[in-house]
Structure formats: structure tokens, C-alpha cells
């Protein structure tokens, strides 16, 4: 038997979630964000399943874009941080990529280069995130440098929200107002909304939305809403019990003996560890599913290739029994919260050692 750890990815869920983004933003086109290997789901597989319905895709760097072009994706494809260095421009031109422009050095490089075809540009304003983009005052100046340049194709104006996941926060509306104040005069397409804004801030949708996490079915919001409840989780991470230990009260388990048994305890040793990307800091008591629907919990520290779960109360759990960590039957939002992180980090941390198995199943 092969090592049983695996991530089963339901492509039908990803298509459903993209469709949901389009229904929530019916007047917008939607960039499907597949950076970070499709948030750990496999960028090529995700892009291929979305290709018939997707308006365009977005990635973080040229290497990710090349992978999609090599797989036959010929949609508009946006580099979300643009170029890092002028030497990338020939490849950008050859692959026909859209560029985010967030800094003057990128405009300098572009104006120094003669592409075969004009490049579509996404000019970014920093409206309060303070990470990438031109300040509102510098934004118009940057636009003037690009406007009319032979290198520039279609120009879209963009910005990014810092707190769209927080439903009671006024910051998103303030960023929107600031952005519109400085961009309205240009009368160009606008793109602002990440997943939380697609789900919860309809006034931000404009001409292009940029859903990422929601495509994979995890809610980015700080609490569930009617829209987030319609997401379908795409990934189920599971493995199986490979050994069973019968311990006495007072025995303790694993590195650092972090968990001491308070009663006679049956322990399932499961083939899943931090070399798979499972969080090492997962706490005692983290929920897991044993078999189809028995709830139990992690006990003891996660090690590199294994972890341990309590199966004392689950009589039929034995070597070979499946253990599920998130996905079907166990929301990843809950697991992320208990591990002190967010679903984004859990899914992108999964290493290549976890085989991704693809299913296409509309009602499972």
C-alpha cells in the first residue's frame, strides 16, 4: 500500500465557486486568481477546469504564467506584481501577459522597451493597504506617463483592500471612496475586489473582480454570511491510521511528551506531518474526522511524517481507517482558526509530497 496521505480536489466545486463569484458580481468580469499553485490545488488543473468559463487568470510571477501557457491556457493572464526586473519584458511580450504597474521603475523599464504588441496594463493605486501601488497623488502622474505610449494596450485601474474580510470595518468603504476620488476622471475599467469584497462589498465590484480564496471554497470573511454559505470546499485533506497504541493513564505521546493521557487511551498514529505542510503548531484537541463521520481530536505534537489522534471512543477505528483533517465534513475555516492561521496558509503550505487527486463531482 502506498502512503495514504492525499488531497482530493473536486473540480466541480471550483467551477461552482467561480460561477458564484460571477453571480454575485453580475456586471463584472472575473480574474480567477491561481497564484501559489492555485492556492495549493494545482494551478494547471484549476485553470483547465475554469478555462471554458473564466474571463482571465492571475498569477504572481512569470514562472507561474509560463506553466499555464505551456498547459495551453491562452486567456488574458495578469502578473499581479508586474515585472521584478526589466530583463523579464521579452518573456512577458512573448507570452502575451498583462502587467500590474505599481512603481516608477516598472514604467521606466516598459518605456525603454519595444514589445511586438502593446501590453495590457493594470495601474495600481495604494489606497490604504500600503504595500504596492502609487499614492493617490502620484497615480495620475503615472497614468500620464503610460497614456498614449506605444507600449501600452488597455489600461485598467486597480487597488487592493486591507480589511475587506472584516464586515464591520469602515476601512473598505474609505479605501473605495479615496480610490474613486482620484480615478473617476479617467473613465477606465476598475478592479478592486478580492474574495471578501466579492462576497461582502458589492459596491466595490466595478468592471473586474479578482476572486482567489473563494474559488477554492474557503470563506475569507470574519463570520459566515448568506454568500459565504454558498461556497463549496474544493479540497479534502486526509490520510490513514498506520499503527495503534494502547496507552495507560499517565503515559505521554511523541516529541516533548506534549500530551499526557488522562485515561486509558487508544492512539491512532496517522501518516501526516509537517513535511506534508500540516501545521506543526496544531494544538492538542484540534478536531479530526475518523472514518466517515466520527469526530475526534489530535493529541500530541505533530512530527515530520506522522501525527497522533485519540481513537479511544471509536471502536472500529484501526490500521487503515481514514482520517480527515479538513474539507468534506470538517470546515477548513475552523481548523485554521484553531491553528492560529487562515485557510490561505493551510492550503498553500501543502508540499509536493501530498498527491493531489482530482475528482469532478457535482453533488458530493
> Which CB sits closer to ligand PLP, 75 or 160?
160
Name the residue nearer to ligand PLP (CB basis): 63 or 315. Answer: 63
Q: Could you tell me the smallest distance in angstroms from the CB atom of residue 196 to ligand PLP?
A: 6
> Looking at the annotation, which residues are catalytic?
35, 255
Give DSSP secondary structure letters for 332-356: HHHHHHHTTS-HHHHHHH--TTS-E
Minimum distance from residue 193 beta carbon to ligand PLP (Å): 8
Query: In this complex, which beta carbon is closest to ligand PLP, that of residue 202 or of residue 254?
Result: 202
CB of 252 to ligand PLP, least distance (A): 40
Write the DSSP string, 126-171: -SSS-SSSB-HHHHHHHHHHHTT-TTEEEEEEE---SSTT-TT-TH
Helix (H, G, I), strand (E, B) or coil at 299: coil
Residue with cell 499517565: 250
- How far is the CA of 151 from the CAs of 23, 119, 121, 338, in angstroms? 34, 6, 10, 49
Residue 219 Cβ vs ligand PLP, minimum distance, rounded to whole Å = 11
80 vs 350 by CB, closer to ligand PLP: 80
C-alpha cell read off for 352:
509536493
Question: Which residues are at the interface with ligand PLP (CB under 6 A)?
Answer: 33, 35, 80, 160, 194-195, 210-214, 220
**Whose Cβ is closer to ligand PLP: residue 210's or residue 266's?**
210
Task: Write out the three cell numbers for 33.
Answer: 486568481
Cross-strand partners of 310: 267
When CB distances to ligand PLP are compared, the closest residue is 212
How far is it, in rounded angstroms, from Cα 317 to Cα 32?
40
Shortest Å, Cβ 83 to ligand PLP: 15
- Residue 237 sits at the vertex; the CA angle it makes with 235 and 238, to the nearest 5 degrees, is 145
Helices marked H in the chain — which ranges? 11-24, 35-39, 43-50, 62-70, 89-95, 104-111, 136-146, 171-183, 195-200, 332-338, 343-349
Amino acid at each position: 500500500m502506498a502512503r495514504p496521505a492525499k488531497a482530493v480536489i473536486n473540480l466541480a466545486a471550483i467551477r461552482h465557486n467561480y460561477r458564484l463569484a460571477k453571480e454575485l458580481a453580475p456586471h463584472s468580469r472575473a480574474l480567477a486568481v491561481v497564484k501559489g499553485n492555485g492556492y495549493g490545488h494545482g494551478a494547471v488543473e484549476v485553470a483547465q477546469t475554469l478555462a471554458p468559463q473564466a474571463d482571465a487568470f492571475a498569477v504572481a510571477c512569470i514562472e507561474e504564467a509560463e506553466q499555464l501557457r505551456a498547459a495551453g491556457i491562452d486567456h488574458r493572464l495578469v502578473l499581479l506584481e508586474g515585472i521584478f526586473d526589466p530583463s523579464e519584458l521579452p518573456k512577458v511580450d512573448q507570452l502575451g501577459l498583462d502587467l500590474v504597474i505599481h512603481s516608477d521603475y516598472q514604467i521606466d523599464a516598459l518605456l525603454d522597451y519595444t514589445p511586438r504588441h502593446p501590453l495590457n496594463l493594470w495601474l495600481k493605486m495604494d489606497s490604504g493597504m500600503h504595500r504596492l501601488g502609487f499614492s493617490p497623488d502620484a497615480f495620475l502622474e503615472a497614468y500620464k506617463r503610460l497614456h498614449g505610449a506605444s507600449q501600452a494596450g488597455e489600461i485598467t485601474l486597480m487597488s487592493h483592500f486591507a480589511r475587506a474580510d472584516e464586515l464591520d470595518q469602515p476601512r473598505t468603504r474609505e479605501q473605495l471612496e479615496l480610490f474613486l476620488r482620484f480615478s473617476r476622471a479617467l473613465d477606465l475599467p476598475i478592479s478592486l475586489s478580492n474574495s471578501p469584497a466579492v462576497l461582502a462589498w458589492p459596491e466595490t465590484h466595478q468592471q473586474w473582480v479578482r476572486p482567489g480564496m473563494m474559488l477554492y471554497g474557503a470563506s475569507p470573511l470574519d463570520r459566515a454570511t448568506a454568500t459565504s454559505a454558498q461556497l463549496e470546499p474544493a479540497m479534502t485533506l486526509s490520510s490513514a491510521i498506520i499503527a495503534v497504541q494502547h496507552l495507560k493513564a499517565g503515559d505521554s505521546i511523541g516529541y516533548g511528551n506534549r500530551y499526557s493521557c488522562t485515561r486509558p487511551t487508544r492512539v491512532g498514529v496517522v501518516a501526516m506531518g509537517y513535511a506534508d505542510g500540516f501545521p506543526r503548531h496544531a494544538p492538542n484537541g484540534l478536531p479530526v474526522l475518523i472514518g466517515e463521520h466520527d469526530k475526534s481530536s489530535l493529541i500530541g505534537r505533530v512530527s515530520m511524517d506522522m501525527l497522533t489522534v485519540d481513537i479511544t471512543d471509536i471502536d472500529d477505528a484501526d490500521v487503515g481507517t481514514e482520517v480527515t483533517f479538513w474539507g468534506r465534513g470538517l470546515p477548513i475555516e475552523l481548523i485554521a482558526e484553531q491553528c492560529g492561521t487562515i485557510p490561505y496558509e493551510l492550503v498553500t503550505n501543502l508540499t509536493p509530497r501530498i498527491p493531489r487527486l482530482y475528482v469532478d463531482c457535482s453533488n458530493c
